[in-house]
Amino acid sequence: MKQPVLKVAVNLRRLPLWLAVVCLPLASCSVMDEYIRPKPKVATEWQAPLPHGGNLASLNNWWGQFNDPVLDHLLTEAQKESPSLEIALANIRVSRANVLSARAQGIPDLTSTGSATKSKGGGGGAFPASTIEVDSISLDASWEVDLFGKVKAAKQAAKAQLESKKIAWHDARLSLAAEVANNYVNYRACQASVDALQQAYDSRKETARLTGISAKAGFSAPSDLALAEAATRASESTLDGQQAECDGLVKALVALTNLPEPELRQWLAKGKSLPEPAMFDVQALPASLLTRRPDLAIDERNLAEASANIGVSKAQMYPSLTLTGSIGYRRTNFNGTVTRTDSWSYGPSLKLPIFDGGTLRADLAEARANYDSLLATYQQDVRNAVKEVEQALVNLESATRRATSEQASAQQYQQYFKAAEINWKSGGLDLLSLEDARRQKINAELNVITQQKNRVLQWIALYKAFGGDWLETQATVKPIILKPMEKR
């Protein structure tokens, strides 16, 4: 916000003379309005079905409850050298500097100056040359009395900004962990799909081999051989495409963890199954999101900062009182004649805004409009937070049910394909029907993998939508603020 030079403009009707007379000796008559934390309207309870069917664990160290050493390692590495976390840390350092600057505004300013000069002049005609030495030192002090709470409001604004940036660090950690976990789960599911497609390719390749032998012996039509080979090549193409998708996820994990790709692939080779998340209790009411979600906590602190900035702008419209004092010493040596003088002074200085063309009122209007904008943003983000939790609950319930259904379906298609394969080998089924049975079996297996993956991803989405475990960990996990000259 623009900080104008207080030259002129005050509404004398808003500042009676008696108010100034009373406030001057009191040294503080704050015009800042009290900030009251807003309470947006939210639903009284969740409408979507809550997770059930197992032992509910707490959110504390939720990632560790996956019992997946590879995932734990990737999460640790990602937070070691993360640009997003570095940005959050840098923002904290900036905010801390702003707090120190705001505090300094209410502290007396003390400066000292000193000088020593020597000069020589004259020496022409009948006048001898003269030498002058002058040594002086002075100590000056000034203190702007916080009459109307401008300094206090600036301190509160800076403090709220610092709190916001600290919470933003936790929010960045939460987002980073969720992104790493999502990519890791997608990779595990991708590898499972590769395995399923590899088995399908091997099976089709074997079918093509047997069909070729049968065609050469005259027991199968050449068209059957063409169909078998075409199906084999199509299966190979699908397998290659799936493997490329897995490689792309590896690249994403490299970018997130900053691990060398060979080392990352060694870690990924240590496991193949999808991680199993622990269920957690979602019995808390929707209103708890106001403190559970770091993004909403950030919105609220930004709102507190904007409220304090209104106080700063209002205080700019009132008089400012500065107390000044000075002491000094001066020594003069003129051609050997030394004189010494001491000096001192003190007194108040009052600056009264009279006219500024509306600049100060415009700044106040801007500060109020900024507060209104942030309040509307906060209220909208609260609605979105409730929506995200509700949607995550619905999607999780759907993914859980569908995973069970797809598993049962895959088992039936597996039995159907086995029967079809036996029937084909005995000559009772044509190759086209066999390939149709195989296609349905493969699709069912891939659907199972997809739904199992979606179930895990929806748990992660619910964890993030519910605010993660930053409240449980913020007391023990603190950001490491590096000093500017400290080696990293």
What DSSP assignment string belongs to 334-351? ETTEEEEEEEEEEEEEEE
Position 101: which residue type? S
Structure confidence at residue 3 as a pLDDT band (50, 70, 90): very low
Nearest to 176 by CA among 487, 470, 481: 470
Model pLDDT, residue 4: 37
Q: Does 15 have pLDDT greater than 50? A: no
Position 136: which residue type? S
Task: Assign domain 32-106+150-318+355-473 to its CATH architecture.
Answer: Up-down Bundle (1.20)
Q: The tokens of 257 are what?
A: 């963890």
Q: What are the pLDDT digits (tens) for 232-264? A: 898 889 889 989 999 999 999 999 999 999 999
Return the sign of the alpha-carbon dihedral for residues 436, 439, 445, 450: negative
Residue with the larger pLDDT of the pair 21 and 145: 145
Q: For residue 290, how many C-alpha atoms fall within 13 Å in the half-sphere facing its CB? A: 15
Q: What share of the chain is helix, strand, coil (3-state, %, to 5)?
A: 60, 15, 25
Enter the DSSP assignment of 57: B
Q: Which residues contact 280 (CB under 8 A, 6 or more apart)?
A: 51, 56, 57, 58, 59, 62, 463, 466
Beta bridge partners of 405: none
- The strands making up 129-145's β-sheet, listed across from edge to edge, are 109-122, 129-145, 320-334, 337-351
Residue with the larger pLDDT of the pair 217 and 178: 178
Nearest to 421 by CA among 429, 432, 413: 429
Angstrom CA distances, 211 to 154, 424, 426, stand at 83, 11, 13
Model pLDDT, residue 162: 92
Model pLDDT, residue 16: 43
Q: What are the pLDDT digits (tens) for 281-299? A: 776 677 778 888 889 999 9
pTM here is 0.79
